[in-house]
Amino acid sequence: MVASKTQVPDELIVFLDDQIVNIKQTLHRLDRLRAAVVRRDEGSLEELMEEVRDEGRRKKQTDLRMRQLQINLSSVLRCSPDDVNMTRLCEQLTGQDRRIIQDKQATLQRLTRELGNERQGTELLLRECARFTRLLLSSMVGTKNQTRTYTAQGQEQWNVHCGLMNIKM
């Protein structure tokens, strides 16, 4: 389907609005993830895992939709689909359509920067949690050179594949 010049901005506006909503949802999901990790809320973490799986499916659909939009726009812009971008499109638009696309582009750029910052903060939190967990386990179990166990004969041994306690009746 080859889109006419009047259809292109409408299709693009709908797509950009959807992208803005997707990024805002991702930001909200990152907030919920950090809160669930801090509170150690396993139920919320499981719910978030399911949302992430669903998001993967939606991402594939979004990519296909974006590719189709690029193909449609490439016929209007007279370039290859890989060369389609919003700046090139804005050069061809005039008036209110141009302002709307530029506003959406600016909003997406701002949200993308915010998403990068939030992702980085979440990554740091999760790394600290992993480091703290390793320290906690190390203090409980020790390392090979710190903790020794002894057999009934009094021989020293270290076996990382055994449990911390042997509960046999």
Polymer length of the chain: 169
100-153 per-position pLDDT tens digit:
989 999 999 999 999 999 999 999 998 998 898 888 877 776 665 555 566 677
* Calpha distance 15→25 (Å, rounded): 15
Residue with tokens 């009094």: 154
- Spatial CA neighbour of 70 closest among 52, 88, 57: 88
- Spatial CA neighbour of 48 closest among 34, 38, 58, 62: 34
Residue with tokens 């193909």: 71
The better pLDDT of the pair 68, 143 is held by 68
Per the prediction, the chain carries an average pLDDT of: 82
Query: Residue 3: pLDDT band by 50, 70, 90 thresholds?
Result: very low
Other Cβ atoms less than 10 A from the Cβ of 21: the count is 10
Range 25-47 average pLDDT: 91
Range 88-93 average pLDDT: 84
Report the CATH fold assignment for 7-143: Methane Monooxygenase Hydroxylase; Chain G, domain 1 (1.20.58)
In the chain, where the domains are located: 7-143
Provide the pLDDT for residue 124.
92
Tell me if 11 sits within 8 A of 69, measured CB to CB: yes
